[in-house]
Amino acid sequence: MTVVVALLLRVVFRVVDAVVLAPRPVLWRAWWTGWRALPSPYATGARATAADVAADVDDDDLVYGEAFVTVAAALLRAHGAHAGSVVVDLGCGRGAALVGARALGAAARGVDVCRSHVDTTGPALRAAGVDVAVGDARTTGLEGATHVWLAWATWSVATRAAVTARLHALPSGAVVVAVVHAVDDDAFAIVARRRAPFSWGVADVVVQRRR
């Protein structure tokens, strides 16, 4: 049943994303390039991608799920993202959340440890104004970030702890949109809990603000 729901969500929201982005061809192309070029990775393990990964990461850190552009944009907009914002995606995959940020007019940058994601989608994302690079979420700088998209649903406890330590560099008032797991640190106040559709099903989203 869960797989059926996930498939339905993917079909429905790909249509929705395509329609919403159609009037904005540069953003549409950035979304379409990733969707067309790479199989929708409901779950891929480390063994399948080991040669492609630019960091020493836990197997669980490479299980891949994806946001939908319109859902990411709605969540970011609901928590203050706008044309003056800077959205950073730690583990950006094919860049759907970053396309959502650009749809709001926000600056967007992301990193992913899987080189094929960046090599395949990077040119179209950069044409849409996204700064994307191969990188490790545990060591990526957060300079200027007003919002952080954190799709760490399957990441190991150790990896989440390392990323949480990096989040301390955020200025007071910065927003973190965390998928499934909240940032477990008193420096981040929970401002909202939501349920939202993703490529694998409906999941918890915890929105937090840096104290």
Structure confidence by residue, pLDDT tens digits, 146-198: 999 999 999 999 999 999 999 999 999 999 999 999 999 999 999 999 999 99
Please state, for a pLDDT cut of 70, what percent of the chain lies above it.
90
Answering whether pTM is above 0.75, one says yes
pLDDT category of residue 39 using cuts at 50, 70 and 90: low
Count CB atoms within 10 A of the CB of residue 190.
Answer: 13
Q: What percent of the chain has pLDDT over 90?
A: 76
CATH architecture of 2-210: 3-Layer(aba) Sandwich (3.40)
**Average pLDDT of 192-205?**
96
42 has a pLDDT exceeding 50: no
Q: Mean pLDDT throughout 31-43?
A: 68
Tell me how far apart the alpha carbons of residues 4 and 8 are, in angstroms, rounded to a whole number.
6
- 3-class SS of residue 207: strand
Question: Given the structure tokens 């007003």, which residue do they identify?
Answer: 146
Phi, psi of 165 (to 5 degrees): -60, -40
